[in-house]
Structure 1
Amino acid sequence: MIHKGVEFSITQAAPGIWKWRFQIGDRIVTGKTEAKLNLLAIRRVQLRIDRELKKLQQDEARGRNGAG
């Protein structure tokens, strides 16, 4: 699946447990989430991607501001 240009995968590890993985640049992020519904698990991964993209954007902005 793709969310905001980031490809991610999610698989059911056990009933109610989902393993997920995505990559932004060279950084690979993996984890598990607990959810009865797969759509809820997917949404949680999408929110995590949003946080990682926001953090990356903030780090880049700091780098530009600090270099000037």
Structure 2
Amino acid sequence: MNHRGVEYTVAMTATPGVWKWQFQLGDEIKSGRTETRIALLAIRRVQLRIDRELKKAAREPAT
């Protein structure tokens, strides 16, 4: 999937209601898990995380 130009994945785990996600910004790979029974909520949480990371990257001065 793609959000604001960032490719990401969200996949259900063997544990019901737990989703794992991953995306890459530059050279850094971010990954984690979220708990919800609703697939669209898991996707939305990853999109919000991408938004936070993009905002954080924009604030940091380029070195």
Q: For residue 56 of structure 2, give the secondary structure of its aligned residue in structure 1.
A: helix
State the aligned residue count: 62
Greater helix percent: which structure?
A: 1
Return structure 1 stretches of 4+ with deviation > 4 angstroms: none
Match of 1:31 in 2: 32
Match of 1:50 in 2: 51
Q: For residue 10 of structure 1, give the secondary structure of its aligned residue in structure 2.
A: strand
Q: What is the TM-score of this pair, normalised by structure 2?
A: 0.93
Structure ranking higher on relative contact order (CA contacts 8 Å, 6+ apart): 2
Structure 2 stretches of 5 or more lacking a match? none
Structure 1 stretches of 5 or more lacking a match? none
Instruction: Name which one, 1 or 2, has greater alpha-carbon Rg.
Output: 1
Percent of aligned pairs sharing the same letter: 56
Match of 2:60 in 1: 59
Match of 2:5 in 1: 5
